[in-house]
Chain A
Amino acid sequence: MTLALTRFKLAAYARSHRLLQPVFALFTMMLIFYSTTVPDGRQLTSYADSAGLLIVVFAWAARGLLDTEPAAQRVVSMTAAGGPGREVRAGLLAALAVNLGLAAIAVALPLLAGFAVLPSSGDLARGAGLHLLGLSAGTALGALTSRPILSSPAASMLVLFGGYLGLLLLSLTPAGGFTVPIMPWMRAASAGTLDAVLLPVTAATLFWSAAGALAYVRLRRTRP
């Protein structure tokens, strides 16, 4: 039931053309990132920047997907799927699936055009891992700014972009270790010390993403 509802949400999202907005944003950012060829040895730095900066695109995509169904349809879907928990899970699953696709493009595109030399398999894995962290944080931020939580589109966009900027700025300060550490992972990748911080960066990002997702699930209890 949850998977069928996930497919329904993905079909609605694709047919509504809302998917085009984050896809255009993704390709625009890719054009900016890779307008000049990345020299050998800087591939991981590029991946780290891409993963950190694309969080806002992942959030936008998740928000768009979760906003696609009208409120009355969400209620119908809840009863059809056998409970509100399944509808909420299906929404998050669908948002993750879309963001996995966007992240796959972001990781694969520079391999075709962007890198002067293909990265080592280790750097490719690290780059893919950082994009997984980015999409988990972005999906949680997008869910928390979706219509059931923030009904005003203006407030929602403000919180989405403001929240992302806040995360970026906070991660520049000493308190950065206590939030999603976007800047720390960018700096470590640039300095060649990513492996030393990868574990705490992964733990912090997954913790805050899970906390965001749990808050979303909790808030949806009285916001069907």
Chain B
Amino acid sequence: MRLSDVSFRYARRGPWILREVELSLRPGSVVEVTGRNGAGKSTLLRLLAGILPPSRGSIAERPAVVGYAPDVFPVDQPFTVAAYLAHLAGIRRIPPASGTALAERLNATHLLDRPLGDLSKGSAQKVGLIQSLLAPPGLLILDEPFAGLDEQTRNELPVIIGEVAADGGAVVVSDHQNQLRDFPGAGHWLVADGAVTAGDGRRPRRAVIEVTVDAADADEVEQKLRADGHATRRIS
């Protein structure tokens, strides 16, 4: 898959979100996308998925089967998990029970009879992941997939990503939390100032700083830092 001179803006006179992006994505590759909030990560993912057409330039050789998991799964829908997955399987022309094995793997079997509206954030994220994997994807796009997941699923997801890649699928993951930092061979795209900078598995140099704040302000400071695209870890 190749992005050639791709630029995008939402309106004819609106600001450019991305400019002259040149990227290639090989089958079997795994790429982590990072950048500050509002930098254009989700727009890039939607261009890759074929949801948005480029305002300029072209995207070629997109795989036929694309799996996409949004950053926040939409639970405001009048279906049980099983009925929802059966509908999505029907849309993809695969057997209605295709989601069952994935639900077992992600420890979500007990959710199948639950209404979508009753799901917690982490459970909803699991349903989003399951629907994106219903058909073996040639391109799998995951927007902040680790947010809210329990530890078991958090550990299982890189394994699933590795399997998709081993089967020849390309995987693109937007990931604030750097959960793929140890994923072997993962590439890295940094979205900033309308440009996308590709690094072949090498991360930009990082520094660790220690910030001491009042305990009452800790949550707020942590949220601000994460919103700016920084990884944080609470020590005490």
Contacts and interface: CB of A to CB of B under 8 A. Distances in A.
A15 B90 contact: no
B136 to A, nearest CB: 14
A222 B70 contact: no
Interface stretch (B25-33, B74-82, B149-157, B198-206): B74-82
B93 interface: yes
A15 B78 CA distance: 6
A80 B131 contact: yes
Contacts of B77: 12, 69-70, 73
Interface stretch (A1-9, A22-30, A33-41): A1-9
A8 B77 CA distance: 11
Nearest to B65: A82
Interface string A60-74: 000000000111110
Contact of A79 (B53, B68, B76, B87): B68
B45 to A, nearest CB: 10
A11 interface: yes
A73 B74 contact: yes
Interface in A72-90: 72-73, 75-84
B132 to A, nearest CB: 8
A16 interface: yes
B49 interface: yes
Contact of A11 (B50, B76, B87): B87
A188 B207 CA distance: 79
B108 interface: no
Given A8-B87, A224-B51, A71 B74 contact: yes
A5 B134 CA distance: 15
A15 B87 contact: no
Interface residues of A, number: 27
A7 to B, nearest CB: 7
A222 B92 contact: no
Given A75-B46, A79-B50, A16 B78 contact: yes
A76 B52 CA distance: 13
A18 to B, nearest CB: 10
B114 to A, nearest CB: 15
Contact of A222 (B11, B72, B74): B11
Nearest to B134: A80
A1 B91 contact: yes
Most buried by B among A1, A5, A12, A80: A80
Contacts of A77: 91
A224 B68 CA distance: 14
A1 B92 contact: yes
Contacts of B88: 8, 76, 80
A107 B76 CA distance: 35
Contacts of B51: 75, 78-79, 84, 224
A7 B79 CA distance: 13
A68 to B, nearest CB: 8
A12 B115 CA distance: 13
Nearest to B75: A70
B79 A222 contact: no
Interface string B185-196: 000000000000
A70 B76 contact: yes
Interface of B: 10-11, 46, 49-53, 64, 66-70, 72-74, 76-79, 87-88, 90-93, 128, 131-132, 134, 141
The 7 A-B pairs of least Cβ separation, nearest first, read A70-B74, A15-B78, A79-B68, A4-B90, A72-B74, A72-B70, A8-B87
25 contacts: A1-B92, A4-B90, A4-B91, A5-B91, A7-B90, A8-B90, A12-B79, A15-B79, A69-B74, A72-B70, A73-B77, A75-B49, A75-B68, A75-B70, A76-B69, A76-B131, A78-B51, A79-B49, A79-B50, A84-B50, A221-B52, A222-B10, A222-B11, A222-B52, A224-B51
Given A72-B73, A75-B68, 8 more contacts: A4-B91, A73-B74, A75-B51, A76-B131, A77-B91, A79-B66, A79-B132, A222-B52
